[in-house]
Amino acid sequence: MGFDFKTFGCNVFNDSIMREKLPKSTYRELKNSIDSGVPLKPEIADIVAEAMKDWALEKGATHFTHWFQPMTNYTAGKLDSFISPTSDGKVILEFSGKELIQGEPDASSFPNGGLRNTFEARGYTAWDCTSPAFIKDETLYIPTAFCSYTGEALDTKTPLLRSMEAISAQALRILRTFGNNTSKHVNATVGAEQEYFLIDRDLYEKRLDLKICGRTLFGAKPPKGQEMEDHYFGRIRIRVADYMHQLDQELWRLGVTAKTKHNEAAPAQHELAPIFNTVNIACDHNQLTMEMMRVIAKKNHLACLLHEKPFAGVNGSGKHNNWSLSTDDGINLLEPGKNPYQNIQFLTFLCAIITAVDNYADLLRLSAAIVGNDYRLGTSEAPPAIISIFLGEQLTSVLNSIAQGHQPDATPSSILQMGVETLPKLPKDDNDRNRTSPFAFTGNKFEFRMVGSSSSIAFANYVLNTIVADTLMHFAERLEHSSDFDGEINAIIHDTMKQHGRVIFNGNNYTEEWVEEAKKRGLPNLASTVDAAKAFLDPKNIDVLNRHHILSETECYSRYEVLLENYTKVITIEANTMLEMVHRQILPACFSYLGEVADSYSKLQQSGIYNESMYRLLEQLSKLVDHISDTTQKLSDIEQIPNELDSFQRASYCKDTILPQMNLLRCYVDQIEVLISKDKWPMPNYTDLLHRV
Ligand code: ADP
Ligand code: MG
């Protein structure tokens, strides 16, 4: 095995390649664009494009593509070759600055929530030079943002890029009030831990539900699930280790800093974590990671499942979105720091986050809403749908003491040194871990654990960036106009704890008591994607997204439509898949087995033996078959959504009418599965899927 680390990033048009391939002045101009967002001059773009093309050709590329991220959670792009014909019947290879900077895909065939009709199909992709181009499958990939002819964002990257500017601007204002005049930019940094399942390809191919829906729609609980707790961090099977190794290598060549890999809690579940990066690169890299996970699985005769809940009864998969803020000169703003001055600054950012998360809990919840996540959140193994913050007892008590106007005393004196005024020296990593919190402080960053494993991380991060930027803006206004700086900081801490302390919860989020307690505290509990979607229409949320130029009201509305349409489509496809599986696989198997048992039973009876257990089995099977048949009939009857409903009503109909019927059908099928002989059951069972990798 091994890896030649000199080839790390060899397929990326990264800084060192740019420096090598571009004239010095071009390199400087491009670097300036990347760092401070000034648009690139057309003549410079031509030079960059030429250098990119030559490099790509050297690497064996024949095509280029504008790579973008529509609202599908996948990426997209069409491939164009570099060829251009000459009069003598040959070709030359060309790639202009214009082709680098702008592309023009048809926008009507992507989810757009009514923003685009087929007759006004034009859309644009614009080069995002802050994320490096790379080569994959003999194609030069150019990361781009995707918008409509009229300038509305049709992707997840545009609002993300906009939110990065917002958070930088507002965080810098705060830093200036603390006397920092040297940092020029603040970046949101993200490390997205990715969970996934790996199963055998042959078994996968035999399950229509996995192939069509990415999750099992049927499947009785296996004798052994994850109750032995022997998989988490356990020995990695040779076949899986091989897969992980190939995945690492592929990602490393693409410049993705894949760092940690391990087995997760459920059997057949694993995780990969990269080293963090600025958020838009982290987002691109996470998309590449998901894609490579699927592709390399297929090459290894495996299937990678990225669905949030592929199997009932064992853990689902999420994406732990580790988020922090860093200056361009390397200061992590969520690092408690060594001296009191850094502490107050840290506490100010901390208060901004607490305030933002409480004020916009519904929007943050929405940012993790995707139909698959509804099966995962709140099922006693993933955070509930209630947003709360874990700070740890110590940090909470420090904030509480300051808020109440006395010196923090609830912390051990050995690690608490009093500095200016009421400001303590905060220890790093004082807190224990709380794995049940949806939004946990983990020493120098927050970990947002609600994000679904199949989602793009862009949505969660542009919401986080925006709501924190907005709160920082309000704090900045207070601090910039205050004559008593320390007093104003104390007032900010006081107001934060008084008005938003309710969102802090250090206990076990998986309990019923917390659900009750959260209700008393007035925290929203938006259990499903359909409930969460409404947050897109809330004037307070539209205002904040608007104020920082992240999404216009129209764009919010279109995203609301896209989310609900997606929900409805997914549930409808799942219902149809169930019907097909029952009609063409499950009922035929049941009838055939029932017939066999009945035959044997009557043969025995003819020879004078009356077998009671056989009779009981016949009775049970026959009753269950009737239930399955009736429930299936009912499901087909209701599966057509009434035409007159609007998108919210359609999604609600799916949630409240179709889904319960699907659950009932599954319940009967899972009961009969364990009564029928294994060789008669028409698909691999949970034991096969989870334990036969
Ligand atoms: P933990 O101790 O919480 O497991 P790790 O250091 O293992 O923390 O990091 C978990 C994830 O958090 C990794 O993807 C890591 O790169 C990321 N991470 C660490 N520091 C930061 C940061 N400052 N900003 C964003 N992500 C970070
Ligand atoms: Mg994890």
Q: Could you tell me the distance, in angstroms and rounded to a whole number, from the CA of residue 191 to the centre of ligand 2?
A: 11
Both structure tokens of 364: 């943050």
Is any ligand 1 atom within 6 A of the Cβ of residue 378?
Answer: no
Backbone angles phi, psi at 426, to 5 degrees: -95, 130
Is any ligand 1 atom within 6 A of the Cβ of residue 273?
Answer: yes
Residues 6+ apart with CB under 8 A from 429: 443
Q: Residue 223: which pLDDT band, with cuts at 50, 70 and 90?
A: confident
Q: Could you tell me the distance, in angstroms and rounded to a whole number, from the CA of residue 321 to the centre of ligand 1?
A: 9
| CA 322 to ligand 1: nearest atom | 26
The reported pLDDT for the residue numbered 408 is 63
Burial grade of 603 (CB within 10 A; 0-12, 13-18, 19 or more): exposed
- Name the residue of 167, 186, 276 whose CB sits within 8 Å of the most ligand 1 atoms, as the mutation to test its pocket: 276
Residue located nearest, by CA, to atom 22 of ligand 1: 324
Residues 6+ apart with CB under 8 A from 422: 401, 402, 405, 406, 407, 408, 490
The reported pLDDT for the residue numbered 426 is 66
Q: How far is CA 29 from the centre of its chain?
A: 34
Ligand closest to 442 (CA) is: 1
Is any ligand 1 atom within 6 A of the Cβ of residue 335?
Answer: no
Ligand closest to 233 (CA) is: 2
Nearest to 656 by CA among 463, 492, 502, 527: 527
Sign of CA dihedral 502, 505, 507, 513: positive
The reported pLDDT for the residue numbered 229 is 76
Is any ligand 1 atom within 6 A of the Cβ of residue 444?
Answer: yes
Which of helix, strand or coil describes residue 683? coil
The reported pLDDT for the residue numbered 41 is 87
CB of 247 closer than 8 Å to CB of 5: no
Residue with tokens 């093309």: 53
Mean pLDDT confidence for 481-489: 93
Backbone angles phi, psi at 189, to 5 degrees: -110, 145
Is any ligand 1 atom within 6 A of the Cβ of residue 650?
Answer: no
The reported pLDDT for the residue numbered 422 is 54
Mean pLDDT confidence for 101-107: 86
The reported pLDDT for the residue numbered 65 is 97
Nearest to 636 by CA among 662, 669, 673, 667: 662
Q: What is the 3-state secondary structure (H, E, C) of 553-573?
A: HHHHHHHHHHHHHHHHHHHHH
| CA 191 to ligand 1: nearest atom | 14
The reported pLDDT for the residue numbered 107 is 74
The reported pLDDT for the residue numbered 592 is 96
Q: Residue 57: which pLDDT band, with cuts at 50, 70 and 90?
A: very high
* d(C-alpha 303, C-alpha 211), whole Å: 10
Mean pLDDT confidence for 436-440: 94
Give the tens place of pLDDT for each residue, 516-534. Answer: 999 999 999 999 999 999 9
Say whether pLDDT at 1 is over 70: no
Say whether pLDDT at 339 is over 70: no
Say whether pLDDT at 654 is over 70: yes
**Residue 28 identity:** R
**Residue 484 identity:** D
CB of 195 closer than 8 Å to CB of 268: no
The average confidence (pLDDT) of the chain is: 92
The reported pLDDT for the residue numbered 421 is 52
Nearest to 31 by CA among 320, 452, 17: 17
| CA 444 to ligand 1: nearest atom | 23
Give the tens place of pLDDT for each residue, 386-430. Answer: 999 999 988 898 899 888 887 665 444 333 333 445 566 666 555
Which of helix, strand or coil describes residue 315? coil
**Residue 584 identity:** R
Q: What is the 3-state secondary structure (H, E, C) of 27-47?
A: HHHHHHHHHHCCCCCHHHHHH
The reported pLDDT for the residue numbered 340 is 67
Residues 6+ apart with CB under 8 A from 88: none
Say whether pLDDT at 444 is over 70: yes
Of 53-57, 223-227, 559-563, the range with the lowest mean pLDDT is 223-227
The reported pLDDT for the residue numbered 432 is 62
Say whether pLDDT at 21 is over 50: yes
Q: Could you tell me the distance, in angstroms and rounded to a whole number, from the CA of residue 300 to the centre of ligand 2?
A: 24
* d(C-alpha 71, C-alpha 365), whole Å: 17
Helix runs in 583-611, H state only: 587-606
pTM of the model: 0.95
Give the tens place of pLDDT for each residue, 537-573. Answer: 999 999 999 999 999 999 999 999 999 999 999 999 9
Mean pLDDT confidence for 647-674: 98
Angle at 415 between CA 411 and CA 418, to 5 degrees: 80
Q: Could you tell me the distance, in angstroms and rounded to a whole number, from the CA of residue 192 to the centre of ligand 2?
A: 10
- Name the residue of 445, 447, 461 whose CB sits within 8 Å of the most ligand 1 atoms, as the mutation to test its pocket: 445
Of 83-87, 101-105, 287-291, 415-419, the range with the lowest mean pLDDT is 415-419
Q: Could you tell me the distance, in angstroms and rounded to a whole number, from the CA of residue 447 to the centre of ligand 1?
A: 8
Give the tens place of pLDDT for each residue, 274-321. Answer: 999 999 999 999 999 999 999 999 999 999 999 999 999 999 999 999
CB of 635 closer than 8 Å to CB of 661: yes
Mean pLDDT confidence for 216-238: 87
Q: Residue 616: which pLDDT band, with cuts at 50, 70 and 90?
A: very high
CB of 530 closer than 8 Å to CB of 659: no
The reported pLDDT for the residue numbered 384 is 87
